[in-house]
Structure 1
Amino acid sequence: MKKGNPFALIPIVVFLVLFIAVGIIDNSYGGMFGDSLPAIVGFVIALVVAFLQNPKGQKLSFEEKLNNMARGAGDENIMIMCLVFILAGAFSASVKAAGGVDSTVNFGLSIMPGSVAVVGVFVVGCFISTSMGTSVGTIVALAPIAIGISEKTGIAMPLCIGAAVCGAMFGDNLSMISDTTIAATRTQGCDMKDKFRENFKIALPAAILTAILLFLRTKGNDYVMEEALEYNFIRIVPYLVVLIGALAGLNVFMLLVGGTFLSLCIGIAYGDFTLIESFGIMGEGIMGMYDITVISIIVAGLVSLVRQNGGIDWLLYIIRRCIRGPKGAQIGIAALSSVVDCSTANNTVAIVIAGPIAKEIASDYDISPKRTASLLDIFTSVFQGLIPYGAQMLYASAATATAAVSVSSVEIVPFCYYPILLGICALVFIIFEKKKS
């Protein structure tokens, strides 16, 4: 077993220290965590540090290091992942422009009785986030409704907003077009439908328990919609096509292209935009994925240099000394992804960083790629839905700024039942699952 070189991890440490320190300083002056130091800038600085290092006992030329970085950045899985990011961005933008988001929200709330309004926010959030593939987008869509329910029923604002966050995080690690799902499956080399099934049997119990808790906490509070919520089921169809098609095992590229085309046709048919405008809509969606696409390429190159210098070998050496058996390995993967997410405040970036290490651990202890992808996605989502400085919590808190009662992200955390229960269910599943022959 190679002991590796702990100093090869310095570039990653540099990124984490910079990102966290600048975020804390900026936040203390009223800024939003992560805004002052964009992740891509931090990773470029880390990449420069990695280029200054050499493997233990060797001295490589700049060209050799550059070639190694390029091989890592151009890895087959990384390139496929980036292409899926781009197609997912085009689909999300087109279906939103075609009124899919509004129709989905209104349809879900229209069929839910007023006595379970807060539970309804959670359930609708589950469907929207699974369909849209974005937790932040789901929170933005649902937060105004959750605020209205709180103001009219007297139910605590943090509880209502927490229900929206819970629903958003449900689809964050289940959606076929979520950037976390794309990153987890591509770094581990498994099919999305297999990873979905692995996740779903853990996520479903957590979701049911969350709905029960929300019902008990809000029992006896009725909420009546003051006006009829308008929706068009045709506008929801693209979501259903992509979701059902992905579960059926159809090619994700074809599904996203087909879903985008269907959304644009619906939008044009209903007069939401013209054919010429549709190109701009797709362009905006694709540009919205630029950051995570470029970050994924840079991180892949950085990890390749860290691996070449012995950093991954050292990390695996330490982890293997602490792990005993497959269950311990799964808990190790869960802990690794959780710590990285808490450090970066971005679950997709956390998966891209932890993915290669998790794959090595899984290979050593014969853990299936779909299980590893599931663990990465679940535990990064668990903490992303709980850390008060993450984008989800910050957007949820910001939505209440103009409400009668504004709440901080810290006040919302205790009511984020779903992420907490998801983590508990996942640990129970790891510990008590019987080994298959």
Structure 2
Amino acid sequence: MSNHEGTKGNLLAFLPLIVFVVLFIGSGMLTNDFSTMPLNVAILIASAIALLMNRKETFSKKVDVFTKSAGHPNIILMAVIFILAGAFAGVAKGMGAVESTVNLGLSLLPANLLMVGLFVIGCFISISMGTSMGTIVALAPIGVGIAGQTEIPVALAMATIVGGAMFGDNLSMISDTTIAAVRTQHTKMKDKFKVNFLIVLPAALITLVILGVLTRGNAVELAGDYPYDWVKILPYLGVLVAALAGTHVLVVLVGGTIFAGVIGLLDGSYQMSSLLQATAEGIMTMEDLAIVSILIGGIIGIIQYNGGIDYLLRMITRNIKSKKGAEFGIAGLVSAADIATANNTIAIIITGPLAKSIADEYGVDPRKSASLLDTFAGCWQGILPYGAQLLAAAGLAAISPVSIMLYSFYPVLMGICCVIAILIGYPKFKRTDDASASISK
């Protein structure tokens, strides 16, 4: 969808998104209660404003743009994932999977290392699965359970999971963001991984230290037994194994729900009627998020059609004059696109070709430009309260996504490490004719 006003773009196109953020976050800050303005109401108001803008187009045309964007395959897939995640979480919780898994964790780990362990597990799972959403869905119920049995804030547990999920999503060889970044910059997966890993490793290590310090004083008394049943833990293990094996996330979630349900029926946790009820209740907990994600997709379509994305591209690229400036330009480009679209994959796809042109013109190594695209997009995606990751974690934990932002240590540190890497020219590259030239630390 192109802008009918030419290539200059239009800043006013972002008004719906601005209204949404002001309504949702502003009202919460004023009242100290982020439930004052329901998320779905705020996004509905923003959607109405989007459809009322641009009087040069007919209302029917704007509705067409909105609905086509809202119905984009990526958006619908995200909505379906939300719904199935709710079903799995509801069924697993009802048959005792969460309690058993949490008790196992409490039995094996010192209380002051629970969040450290949760972050490491999240990193491992997401880098193997290649999806932040799948990681959050699998670990969020466990994080909620751990927080419920300790003095650790639920928001901190969710932010820890989101951080680990973004670590792996940013590095995984099978992540859609990695694939998009590598393809648009014409480099190799393994080379981008090496550069990316060197940049974000300090952020992960610092995050581990912060989590250890923060939760050190929140230790729970471990006196007594924490009973757990290995059979009830199997649904989570099954989901993780299937995901690590590369199974599609939809198959993983449906299979996990059925697996948990069968175990619940066999051990007496469920009758068929109560199993169906638990499934329905789980779905209903995520219906709002599915609707919100669809409406956000429609708003982004209107913003792009009205020239918002064109405006970002023009504003960020016009002052680039050096290699370092080019790297900051690429970073700013994908950051602005992710803030505008709330989807790191789409942000990379939109800005990738222009980033490649900038990198070629100013001599930025394609491994570095691919890393900058993926990392800055992931940084913002792990912070945005209207992004899919925070919405999913907040929905599964029944808390405000804004509360999770306060503990988003890893995404923030990831961004800081990337800025430092640009400033000091890290890592150093030894240029050769081989596309997989070595990296000098």
- TM-score, normalising length from structure 2? 0.69
Is the CA contact (8 Å cut-off) linking 1:207 and 1:418 kept in structure 2?
yes
State which of 349, 361, 375 in structure 2 corresponds to 1:359: 349
In structure 2, relative to structure 1, the CA distance for the partners of 1:223 and 1:305 (3 Å cut) is closer
For residues 348-401 of structure 1, give each alpha carbon's deviation from its aligned partner in whole angstroms, at most 9, with x where no partner exists.
xx724x7644431123224899985664344332576xxxx99989x99x9xxx
Is the CA contact (8 Å cut-off) linking 1:333 and 1:376 kept in structure 2?
no
The 3-state SS of whatever aligns with 1:289 is helix
Say whether 1:293 aligns with 2:290: yes
Q: After TM superposition, give the deviation of residue 310 of structure 1 in Å.
A: 1.6
State which of 6, 13, 24 in structure 2 corresponds to 1:8: 13
Q: After TM superposition, give the deviation of residue 230 of structure 1 in Å.
A: 0.8
Say whether 1:173 aligns with 2:176: no
For residues 13-34 of structure 1, give each alpha carbon's deviation from its aligned partner in whole angstroms, at most 9, with x where no partner exists.
222333333222222xxxx22x
Between the two proteins, the alignment pairs up a number of residues equal to: 377
Say whether 1:120 aligns with 2:114: yes
Match of 1:406 in 2: none
Match of 1:17 in 2: 22
Say whether 1:146 aligns with 2:140: no
In structure 2, relative to structure 1, the CA distance for the partners of 1:419 and 1:376 (3 Å cut) is closer
Aligned partners of 1:351, 1:125: CA distance in 2, in Å? 23
Q: 1:202-241 residue pairs with structure 2 within 5 A? A: 206-212=203-209, 225-241=222-238
For residues 105-159 of structure 1, give each alpha carbon's deviation from its aligned partner in whole angstroms, at most 9, with x where no partner exists.
11122122x4xx3013431465489665277645532234432xxxxxxxxx8xx
For structure 2, the residue ranges without an aligned partner over 5 or more in a row are: 1-5, 126-134, 183-188, 357-365, 430-434, 437-441
Q: After TM superposition, give the deviation of residue 429 of structure 1 in Å.
A: 6.6
Q: After TM superposition, give the deviation of residue 162 of structure 1 in Å.
A: 8.9
For structure 1, the residue ranges without an aligned partner over 5 or more in a row are: 148-156, 341-349, 399-408
Aligned partners of 1:38, 1:78: CA distance in 2, in Å? 21
Say whether 1:278 aligns with 2:275: yes
One-letter amino acid of the structure 1 residue matched with residue 351 of structure 2: I
State which of 301, 305, 310 in structure 2 corresponds to 1:304: 301
Say whether 1:246 aligns with 2:238: no
Q: Percent identity?
A: 31
Is the CA contact (8 Å cut-off) linking 2:163 and 2:408 kept in structure 1?
no
Aligned partners of 1:203, 1:288: CA distance in 2, in Å? 34
In structure 2, relative to structure 1, the CA distance for the partners of 1:283 and 1:45 (3 Å cut) is same
In structure 2, relative to structure 1, the CA distance for the partners of 1:39 and 1:270 (3 Å cut) is same
In structure 2, relative to structure 1, the CA distance for the partners of 1:318 and 1:187 (3 Å cut) is farther
Match of 2:69 in 1: 72
For residues 267-301 of structure 1, give each alpha carbon's deviation from its aligned partner in whole angstroms, at most 9, with x where no partner exists.
22222121221111111121122112111111111
Aligned partners of 2:393, 2:72: CA distance in 1, in Å? 30
Match of 2:42 in 1: 42
Aligned partners of 1:224, 1:12: CA distance in 2, in Å? 46
For residues 201-231 of structure 1, give each alpha carbon's deviation from its aligned partner in whole angstroms, at most 9, with x where no partner exists.
5777645444456667899999762111111
Q: After TM superposition, give the deviation of residue 328 of structure 1 in Å.
A: 2.8
Is the CA contact (8 Å cut-off) linking 2:331 and 2:373 kept in structure 1?
no
Q: 1:44-123 residue pairs with structure 2 within 5 A? A: 44-54=44-54, 59-112=56-109, 114=110, 117-123=111-117
Match of 1:315 in 2: 312
For residues 146-184 of structure 1, give each alpha carbon's deviation from its aligned partner in whole angstroms, at most 9, with x where no partner exists.
32xxxxxxxxx8xx88974664344453689xxxx9xx9
Say whether 1:259 aligns with 2:264: no
In structure 2, relative to structure 1, the CA distance for the partners of 1:89 and 1:426 (3 Å cut) is farther
For residues 328-348 of structure 1, give each alpha carbon's deviation from its aligned partner in whole angstroms, at most 9, with x where no partner exists.
3552257437867xxxxxxxx
Match of 1:152 in 2: none
Tell which deviates more after alignment, 200-209 or 85-94: 200-209
Aligned partners of 2:221, 2:413: CA distance in 1, in Å? 30
Aligned partners of 1:370, 1:264: CA distance in 2, in Å? 41
Q: After TM superposition, give the deviation of residue 12 of structure 1 in Å.
A: 2.1
In structure 2, relative to structure 1, the CA distance for the partners of 1:51 and 1:218 (3 Å cut) is closer
Aligned partners of 1:286, 1:175: CA distance in 2, in Å? 27
Is the CA contact (8 Å cut-off) linking 1:103 and 1:230 kept in structure 2?
yes
The 3-state SS of whatever aligns with 1:133 is helix
Match of 2:186 in 1: none
Aligned partners of 2:380, 2:261: CA distance in 1, in Å? 35
Q: After TM superposition, give the deviation of residue 188 of structure 1 in Å.
A: 9.0
Q: After TM superposition, give the deviation of residue 322 of structure 1 in Å.
A: 5.0
In structure 2, relative to structure 1, the CA distance for the partners of 1:8 and 1:105 (3 Å cut) is same
Is the CA contact (8 Å cut-off) linking 1:118 and 1:146 kept in structure 2?
no
One-letter amino acid of the structure 1 residue matched with residue 161 of structure 2: A
Aligned partners of 2:51, 2:259: CA distance in 1, in Å? 46
In structure 2, relative to structure 1, the CA distance for the partners of 1:16 and 1:218 (3 Å cut) is closer
Aligned partners of 1:268, 1:308: CA distance in 2, in Å? 51
Aligned partners of 1:293, 1:207: CA distance in 2, in Å? 31
Q: Cα RMSD (Å) of the superposition?
A: 4.5
Is the CA contact (8 Å cut-off) linking 1:101 and 1:128 kept in structure 2?
no
One-letter amino acid of the structure 1 residue matched with residue 354 of structure 2: D
Aligned partners of 1:392, 1:83: CA distance in 2, in Å? 15
Aligned partners of 1:54, 1:266: CA distance in 2, in Å? 55
One-letter amino acid of the structure 2 residue matched with residue 380 of structure 1: Q
One-letter amino acid of the structure 2 residue matched with residue 252 of structure 1: V
The 3-state SS of whatever aligns with 1:432 is coil
Match of 2:363 in 1: none
For residues 309-331 of structure 1, give each alpha carbon's deviation from its aligned partner in whole angstroms, at most 9, with x where no partner exists.
22221122112235677743552
Is the CA contact (8 Å cut-off) linking 1:136 and 1:168 kept in structure 2?
yes
- TM-score, normalising length from structure 1? 0.69
